[in-house]
């Protein structure tokens, strides 16, 4: 009988470790799934841009610089998606958001453009996509926080270290509309 006791203790420990390990796998999987939500919406935003520029061009052909900066920011964002780290990607997407905001500000100055149905639809689509990016980001970051907290807490941290579970990066995109600090001049 005595031999049973250590066996039972061992079995309990094994079951505990297995359940912790499975929990880590599930949480990491959730982070990845959440990431794909962001990815889908970012790609949708890229796809809207060429049409948007074409439409605005029809009414404001000489705003060439604005168009170029949006196109460049879009290419940079696509390039960052293929090779960059999440951090670089977030930077490129933030820059794209700022360029788009600028494009919309420019478009404000053309009342005829505001009346075009296609432009209205595109603007609404863009707004909707940016809302979705914000919510997808929030969901992703929430999952990253839960996962990172778990792999840094005792006793999961030992297991995480043994099986190579590493912390995931947050996807931080500063809202271009909020980031612009008003410039105050006292001269």
Partner 1 sequence: MAVPQSRLNIYDAVAANRWRTVALVAVFTGILIALGYVVGEVFAPGGGVAMVPAALGLSGVSATASYFAGDKLVLAQSQARELAAGEEPQLRNIVETLSIGLGIPPPRIYLIDDTAPNAFATGRDPKHASVAVTRGLIDKLDRTDMEGVIAHELSHVGNHDIRVMLLVTVLVGTIALLSDWMLRSFAWGGGGRRGRDRGGGGIILIIAIVLAILTPIIATLIQLAVSRQREYLADASGALLTRYPPGLASALRKIAADKEALEVANKATASLYFANPLKDAPRAMDGLFDTHPPIAERIRRLEAM
Q: Which residues bind partner 1 (CB under 8 A)?
A: 30, 33-34, 37, 41, 128, 131-132, 135-136, 138-139, 142-143, 145-146
Element housing 152 (H / E): helix 117-152
Nearer to partner 1, 74 or 137 (CB): 137
User: Are 53 and 71 within 8 A, CB to CB?
Assistant: yes
Residue 23: CB minimum distance to partner 1, A: 10
78-85 long-range CB contacts below 8 Å, 24 or more apart?
A: 78/46, 81/39, 81/42, 85/169
What whole-number distance in Å separates Cα of residue 179 and Cα of residue 175? 6
Q: For residue 89, what are its two tokens? A: 């990607």
What whole-number distance in Å separates Cα of residue 57 and Cα of residue 68? 11
Nearer to partner 1, 67 or 165 (CB): 165
- Residues in the chain, overall count: 187
What whole-number distance in Å separates Cα of residue 45 and Cα of residue 48? 5
Nearer to partner 1, 10 or 18 (CB): 18
Residue 94: CB minimum distance to partner 1, A: 19
Residue 136: CB minimum distance to partner 1, A: 5
Nearer to partner 1, 37 or 43 (CB): 37
Nearer to partner 1, 41 or 91 (CB): 41
Residue 39: CB minimum distance to partner 1, A: 12
Residue 61: CB minimum distance to partner 1, A: 31
């Amino acid at each position: 009988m005595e031999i049973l006791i250590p066996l039972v203790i061992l079995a309990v420990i094994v079951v505990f470790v297995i359940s912790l390990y499975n929990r880590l796998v599930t949480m990491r999987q959730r982070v990845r799934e959440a990431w794909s939500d962001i990815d889908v919406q970012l790609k949708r935003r890229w796809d809207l841009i060429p049409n948007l520029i074409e439409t605005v061009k029809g009414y404001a052909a000489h705003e060439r610089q604005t168009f170029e900066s949006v196109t460049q920011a879009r290419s940079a964002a696509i390039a960052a998606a293929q090779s960059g780290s999440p951090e670089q990607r977030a930077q490129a997407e933030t820059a794209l958001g700022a360029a788009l905001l600028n494009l919309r500000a420019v478009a404000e100055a053309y009342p005829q453009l505001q009346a075009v149905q296609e432009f209205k639809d595109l603007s609404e689509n863009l707004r909707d996509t940016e809302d979705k990016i914000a919510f997808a980001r929030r969901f992703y970051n929430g999952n990253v926080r839960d996962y990172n907290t778990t792999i840094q807490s005792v006793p999961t941290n030992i297991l995480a270290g043994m099986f190579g579970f590493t912390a995931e990066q947050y996807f931080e995109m500063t809202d271009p509309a909020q980031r612009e600090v008003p410039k105050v001049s006292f001269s």
